[in-house]
Copies of this chain bind each other. A is one copy, B any other.
Amino acid sequence: MIEGSFTVKTIRIISIAFIWVIALSFGALNVAQAADHLPSWNDGTAKQSIVEFVKKVTQAGSPDYVPPAERIVVFDNDGTLWSEQPMYFQLFFALDRVKALAPQHPEWKDKEPFASLLKGDMKAALAGGEKAILEIIMATHAGMTTTEFETIVEDWIATAKHPETGKRYTEMVYQPMLELLAYLRANGFKTFIVSGGGIEFMRPWTEAVYGIPPEQVVGSSIQTQFELRDSGPVLVRLPKISFIDDKEGKPVGIHSHIGRRPIAAFGNSDGDLQMLQWTTAGEGARFALLVHHTDAEREWAYDRKSHIGQLDKALDEAKAKGWTVLDMKRDWKVIYPD
Contacts of A281 in B (CB 8 A): 232-233
CB contact between A224 and one of B18, B203, B232, B252 (< 8 Å): that residue: B252
A221 close to B256 (CB less than 8 A): yes
Q: Does A2 contact B (CB under 8 A)?
A: yes
CB contact between A215 and one of B6, B232, B258 (< 8 Å): that residue: B258
Interface size on A, residues (CB 8 A): 46
**Which residue on B lies nearest to A258, using beta carbons?**
B215
CB contact between A274 and one of B9, B69, B233, B258 (< 8 Å): that residue: B233
A224 close to B255 (CB less than 8 A): yes
CB contact between A226 and one of B207, B233, B251 (< 8 Å): that residue: B251
Contacts of A200 in B (CB 8 A): 259
- The proximity string for A residues 1-28 relative to B, scoring 1 for CB distances below 8 Å and 0 otherwise, is 0100010011001100110010001000
A248 close to B225 (CB less than 8 A): yes
B203 close to A259 (CB less than 8 A): yes
What CA separation (Å) do A207 and B258 show in the bound complex? Answer: 13
What are the nearest 10 A-B pairs in CB distance? A214-B259, A226-B248, A232-B281, A203-B259, A215-B258, A233-B277, A226-B251, A21-B21, A214-B260, A233-B278
